[in-house]
Structure 1
Amino acid sequence: MAHRRFKQVDVFGGSPFKGNPVAVVLDAAGLSDDDLAAMARWTNLSETTFVLPPLDPRADYRVRIFTTLHEMPFAGHPTLGTCHAWLEADGKPKGDDIIQECGVGLVRIRRDAGLLAFVAPPLVRSGPAPVDQVEAIRLALGIASADLLDVQWVDNGAGWLALRLSSRDAVLRVTPDYAQLGKVPVGIFAGHDAEFEVRAFIAGDAMPEDPVTGSLAAGIATWLAKEDLAPDAYIIHQGRILGRDGRIHVCRDSDGLWIGGHAITLIDGMLRPSGA
């Protein structure tokens, strides 16, 4: 198997090693689905991405996104991390913005004041979840009934169910029982004005609590915008329990709802499957 360019990018961190890492395999053409899945299991990160030539002529590149368990049609920090790696590897966008092709279609990414930001994709599922499912999740997370304000699907391709809690302290107090949580990716959040706290849980994944989660932030931001529960610009904090300092910048303007953050390459080299 040929050598491939490889980068590991820290995304959404307030400083290096404080965000969410994503492994990016450039020049992934010719790899089989089994190859991609094996590499993702080996990196043992929440996501590994593989850059391919686009199928849609409007796109600058195509990306496939794998967890240690399965392929995903969309994910947030892999989108920005892959874009950063592609630009750093001399990728040249066709226009002012970068157009990424992935499982949910085309995703627009822009560069703005040192940040990369993607337009939040539309939700494929929204609205309330079944009462018995919500109660099972509440018990698995140990959330007091009085602290649970609302629950909505915020699924933009990543499957998220989001629980809005009464306070940021209530979010930080949660101690999940992953054996009882089930297979649905669950996010919890609270906040007001320009500061929100988020946590994300994916039972069974290599990293069952995700450090910083762009797809969840995009889904929550879509919910908050629809119900006018947040200003046009604010910051989502995530990862404190894990010793991270995740900062997701949300901005709503006439072009859409943008989910942005910093990205920095911390590992840069070659993936050598043959060992030679």
Structure 2
Amino acid sequence: MNQKNHNLNPHEPKLGSFIALYKSLIKNRQLILHMTKRDVISRYRGSIIGLAWSFFNPIFMLSVYTIVFSLIFKAKWSVDEGENKIQFALILFTGMIVLNLFSEVLNRAPGLILSNVNYVKKVVFPLEILPVVSLCVALFHASVSFLVLIIAFVVFNGYFNLSTFLIPIIILPFLILLLGISWTLASLGVFIRDVGQTIGLLTTLLMFLSPVFYPISAVPEKLKPFILANPMTFIIEQLRLSVIWDKPINWTGLSIYLIIAILFLFVGFAWFQKTRKGFADVI
């Protein structure tokens, strides 16, 4: 009996394997769904239109981008004369969706354990799902933004690119990478409190080192390696190829990205499981 209870204790170090990860996600899927739903709803609790804000916020931002960049700055992404006035806004918005997803997950990660001390004290609570819940919440808002992007594209262009259906496939490796990094940062944030501030600065730096506001073709050759090393760059470019330009995506590059992301996932999960036994002592 004691051995059984010991094995169920989530605060004991576990083998950080894919089998352990799979079992945890399957076993706690209902809890993950419940906590995700609660987190999303809590953000809009007390407001008049409630959850509808998750839909109106990206609409407002896309409207601002359209007015500022297409009407005021009259910006163009390329020299193509066939590019309509709001094309720049749609291209920019695509990059912003990825940036917001990246920033929300990573900025929250270092404080996930620290902001849930009550869960750390509960032996039966699976702490490893906290980064998963954070990712699901960010993914919910990103999904709504993608919906707004697709609707806006159809409204302003009058047609729909079938390659848009590739969005889930393109974004999946990025989500896997974010989850692996999130587990690592959630653990480090417990032992090194400066991690939260450092990540805030890093995400700001990566915002300017990603092709959100400019095309890669505009980057000087000496700086291109830094831009291409940014984990957001490849995903942003592939999303634009599928949603905006209806061009074939780089399947080889996406496969390599997926392999690297799975490696980060494994390392992050293993690190979290190995260090979690010290959370209660530090907190």
Q: TM-score if structure 1 supplies the norm length?
A: 0.26
Q: Which has the larger radius of gyration?
A: 2
Q: Which has the higher strand share?
A: 1
